[in-house]
Amino acid sequence: MSGENQSQAPPYKLAGLDGRSRPSVFDLGRGVSLGGREFIVMAGPCSVEADPQMLGTAREVKAAGAHLLRGGAFKPRSSPYSFQGLAEEGLKMLARARDLTGLAVVTEVMDSAEVDLVEAYADVLQVGSRNSQNFSLLKRLGQTRKPVLLKRGLMNTVEEFLGSAEYILAGGNEKVILCERGIRTFEPSTRNTLDLSAVLAVKERSHLPVIVDPSHASGRASFVPPLAKAALAVGADGLMIEVHCRPEAALCDGDESLDPAEFKSLMAELAALAPRFGRSLAGPGAPGGRGGEPVAGKTEELNDLRARIDELDDEILELVQKRADAALEIGRVKKSRALAVVDPAREKAVLDRLALKSRGRALKGRAIREIYSAIVRACRAAQAGSEEEGRT
């Protein structure tokens, strides 16, 4: 509420400078340090959707030089009928992506009751814009020892933003990252209005690191690279950027998501610009990537995943062979009734049905048609082969 700050005691004595001359620098996990010279980039999809989407995007952002992987498993959607996230299943996918890439993971927690669960998987806990003044959640996060990425509320002043940070700090958690992600104004041409001045206003009053999220700020992928560069220039300590391996197929916020090539080229530009603003950023293809390599124990996890793939391949092979047996049987029945063995209309119906069934899954549309066209072709060849065998 306004007016509270009229008292003598500053409303954010821990978040405020309070005699501190140096900005806070702290570790986000996996050797990534925020608040120092290195400009930190967190990237990944809006939502965790499936293992291939998450692993594919994670590999791409890692190769482009990102320091952390983002992805929401609990999604704060305006409508209860929109995709709400995969909850714990999504957290597990994030953990697998971390194990495969070595990137630390940042993900949103929406409810005090879910802090224990999210904390078990995440390296950094995110508080979304809509929860920026959920004071019971903030108090609960004061009790964790994991860094908290606090997004600015849609309608919060800088003072209120620092007040929210204070709740976490007052609980004893010193690792708070502030994130400017755009505020709601009268302007409809962008999803929100990116308030870059807030970075300066926060830095004038607080020692806490500040990052900028140009994706939610603008809602438009083409606006993200220029706004990201502006954030570097204005003195932000890093960025959070939405990247999806196929933005057009994203279940959430595809319009504001960069594809891997766009992200890679933005990272190259940022790397070139960073030294001019007193920052460093190694950029795409930096030797060994960043965020740490997968630790030795994690190769076990990789071996488990590969064993799972082998098992699934065995099952798929068995099913494909059974399908071929059934196709041969159909071929024999048709021949005995003097019917044409190849029926293009039926083949088309098979592909259409499967493509439709695959909507919203990891493999959909064209991919499913390609796979099944190959299977149908192989079965047809087997039918033709058995006909020839029959003749000899």
Q: Which residues bind ligand PEP (CB under 6 A)?
A: 46, 72, 76, 108, 128-130, 151, 181, 213, 216
Instruction: Decide which of Mn ion, ligand PEP, none touches 181; Cβ closer than 5 to 8 Å per partner kind.
Output: ligand PEP
The distance of closest approach from Cβ of residue 242 to ligand PEP in the complex, given in angstroms and rounded to an integer, is 7
Contact in structure between 29 and 104 (CB atoms under 8 Å): yes
Residues 6+ apart with CB under 8 A from 15: 162, 163, 165, 166, 169, 176, 205, 206, 207, 208
Instruction: Decide which of ligand PEP, Mn ion, none touches 264; Cβ closer than 5 to 8 Å per partner kind.
Output: none
Instruction: Decide which of ligand PEP, Mn ion, none touches 151; Cβ closer than 5 to 8 Å per partner kind.
Output: ligand PEP
Q: Which is nearer to ligand PEP, 127 or 201 (CB)?
A: 127
The distance of closest approach from Cβ of residue 346 to ligand PEP in the complex, given in angstroms and rounded to an integer, is 45
Q: Which residue among 43, 46, 55, 137 contacts Mn ion (CB under 5 A)?
A: 46
- CA distances, 248 to each of 188, 225, 259, 360 (Å): 22, 18, 9, 12
Strand, helix or coil for residue 328: helix
Question: Tokens in use for 246?
Answer: 């196929």
Q: Residue 334, Cβ neighbours under 10 Å: how many?
A: 15
Q: Which is nearer to Mn ion, 255 or 301 (CB)?
A: 255
Q: Which is nearer to Mn ion, 166 or 253 (CB)?
A: 253
Q: Which is nearer to ligand PEP, 135 or 302 (CB)?
A: 135
178 φ, ψ (degrees, to nearest 5):
-95, 140
Contact in structure between 28 and 40 (CB atoms under 8 Å): yes
The distance of closest approach from Cβ of residue 72 to ligand PEP in the complex, given in angstroms and rounded to an integer, is 4
Strand, helix or coil for residue 177: strand
Kindly state whether residue 43 participates in binding Mn ion, applying the rule CB under 5 A. Answer: no
The distance of closest approach from Cβ of residue 167 to ligand PEP in the complex, given in angstroms and rounded to an integer, is 17
Buried b / exposed e over 1-40, threshold 16 CB at 10 Å, is: eeeeeeeeebebebbbbeeeeebbebebbbebebbeebbb
Question: Tokens in use for 251?
Answer: 């279940």
The distance of closest approach from Cβ of residue 165 to Mn ion in the complex, given in angstroms and rounded to an integer, is 22
The distance of closest approach from Cβ of residue 3 to Mn ion in the complex, given in angstroms and rounded to an integer, is 34
Instruction: Decide which of Mn ion, ligand PEP, none touches 146; Cβ closer than 5 to 8 Å per partner kind.
Output: none
Instruction: Decide which of Mn ion, ligand PEP, none touches 76; Cβ closer than 5 to 8 Å per partner kind.
Output: ligand PEP
Q: Residue 301, Cβ neighbours under 10 Å: how many?
A: 15
Question: Tokens in use for 220?
Answer: 């438009």
The distance of closest approach from Cβ of residue 181 to ligand PEP in the complex, given in angstroms and rounded to an integer, is 4
What is d(CA 189, CA 229) in angstroms, rounded to the nearest whole number? 20
Instruction: Decide which of ligand PEP, Mn ion, none touches 128; Cβ closer than 5 to 8 Å per partner kind.
Output: ligand PEP
The distance of closest approach from Cβ of residue 187 to ligand PEP in the complex, given in angstroms and rounded to an integer, is 17
Name the pairing type of β-strands 68-70 and 33-34. unpaired
Give me the residue whose beta carbon is nearest to Mn ion: 46
From residue 229 to residue 268, the character string flagging contacts with Mn ion as x (rule: CB under 5 A) and all else as - is ------------------------x---------------
Instruction: Decide which of Mn ion, ligand PEP, none touches 260; Cβ closer than 5 to 8 Å per partner kind.
Output: none
Residues 6+ apart with CB under 8 A from 170: 14, 142
Q: Which residues sit at the interface with Mn ion, rule CB under 5 A?
A: 46, 253
